[in-house]
Amino acid sequence: MQRRAVLLHAAWAAAAFLPPGRGAAAVLAPRPLEFPRDFGSHPDLRTEWWYVTGSARSGAREFGFQVTFFRSRIDGTQALRSAFAARQLIFAHAAVTDLQGRKLWHDQRIARAGMGVASAGETDTALHLRDWSLVRGADGYRASVATGEFTLDLHCAPTQPVLAQGDAGLSRKGPAPDQASYYYSEPQLATRGRLQLQGQAFEVTGTSWLDHEWSDVLMHPDAVGWDWIGMNLADGGALTAFRLRDRAGAALWSGGSFRRGRGSNGSLGAGAAGTARGAVGTEGGGLRVFSPGELAFEPLRRWKSPASGATYPVDWAVRTPAGRFTVKALLDDQELDSRGSTGSIYWEGLSELRDERGAPVG
């Protein structure tokens, strides 16, 4: 694959898929991530998601893709005994960006957990929603999605240790102690499989990224959006950066991390060789975890969706302790309308990362 074309910039709407509150939320305690248990679901907490996003090629044809599962706990039904009670809801989104065809294809699913329709396994990643699935095996993840317009059957194999985000996997998302999630990533997943688009089949290879987060109260009450990048770097490294913003566009909180690649000499920035902490494993000798206030997102170019009327930044300048970068969408129209499931409309898609000299680095 051409390493210049990977992941992701996402501008979230407010977390509309979160269920109503149940009163005071528990403050998540720092704890070591435990695997394989933490690959699985955590139904005692309100919100959880598994994101697999990446890029893939078939000859000269280049694609982006997303397979995402969400779990949402419904507090008011937990005491009900009926098998039909919606104690947990499972949502799923899938998308394919066809760069040659200049089009994003996407679909969505929603169902209550149980009755053989939807489930989220607790001992390992085992997500099922009707005919969609994401399952972890001994050699990696298998993602399977079938829609009327496209299908994905992909195998995503780890090439690096798990990357624990934040403080050993506890990632703050706001100034209050309860505004946090348990969060780990698996960058640089070696990806291969089959993609079918409008009846045309492609054998594809590429690189993907998995994010898994679970939380009770994720965001500050004044937060209305979430900007995030996860970049597989050409040297094998990984860059994560995010901010939560208010209605005025100001950052309420920010964070992220930089993991050096095997061939990196720290040239992406003075902070690249920072202290390694918060990682289950590191590549190239170091992980730098970013503190609030160390990042800045500056929109450079915007695109207005003809479908929703929403306006999104599609090119960004991003300043991090690992360096200054430009993020450029490889297709402007990568808006996903998920009002049929999670209730939000958001932008997420295939993007290129460039360094200060304008050279592609991820």
- Each residue of 172-231: pLDDT tens digit? 998 888 899 999 999 999 999 999 999 999 999 999 999 999 998 767 788 888 899 999
Which residue type sits at 88? Q
pLDDT at 3 over 50: no
Dump pLDDT digits (tens) for 39-71. 999 999 999 999 999 999 999 999 999 999 999
Which pLDDT score, from 0 to 100, does residue 177 have? 85
How many Cβ atoms are within 10 Å of 201's Cβ, its own excluded?
Answer: 12
Q: Residue 6: which pLDDT band, with cuts at 50, 70 and 90?
A: very low
Identify which has the larger pLDDT, 9 or 194: 194
- Residue from 349, 305, 313, 345 nearest 331 by CA: 349
Please tell me the distance from the alpha carbon of residue 199 to that of residue 15, in angstroms, as a whole number. 34
Which pLDDT score, from 0 to 100, does residue 302 have? 96
Q: Is 304 exposed, middle or buried (0-12, 13-18, 19+ CB in 10 A)?
A: exposed
Please tell me the distance from the alpha carbon of residue 8 to that of residue 150, in angstroms, as a whole number. 20
Which pLDDT score, from 0 to 100, does residue 118 have? 96
pLDDT at 245 over 80: yes
What's the rounded mean pLDDT across residues 266-271? 39
Which pLDDT score, from 0 to 100, does residue 222 have? 84
Q: Residue 279: which pLDDT band, with cuts at 50, 70 and 90?
A: very low
DSSP codes, 184-197: EEEEEEEEEEEEEE
pLDDT at 242 over 70: yes
- For 242, residues 6+ apart whose C-beta sits below 8 A from its C-beta are 226, 227, 228, 229, 254, 255, 256
Rg for the chain, CA atoms, rounded: 19
Phi, psi of 159 (to 5 degrees): -120, -5
Which residue type sits at 215? S
CB 356 within 8 A of CB 345: no
Number of helices (H) and strands (E) in the chain: give both, helices first.
0, 23
What's the rounded mean pLDDT across residues 146-151? 96
Please tell me the distance from the alpha carbon of residue 193 to that of residue 224, in angstroms, as a whole number. 37
Dump pLDDT digits (tens) for 296-327. 999 999 999 999 999 999 999 999 999 999 99
- Residue from 173, 133, 167, 138 nearest 152 by CA: 133
Which pLDDT score, from 0 to 100, does residue 344 have? 82
What's the rounded mean pLDDT across residues 27-33? 92
Which pLDDT score, from 0 to 100, does residue 22 have? 44
Q: Residue 101: which pLDDT band, with cuts at 50, 70 and 90?
A: very high
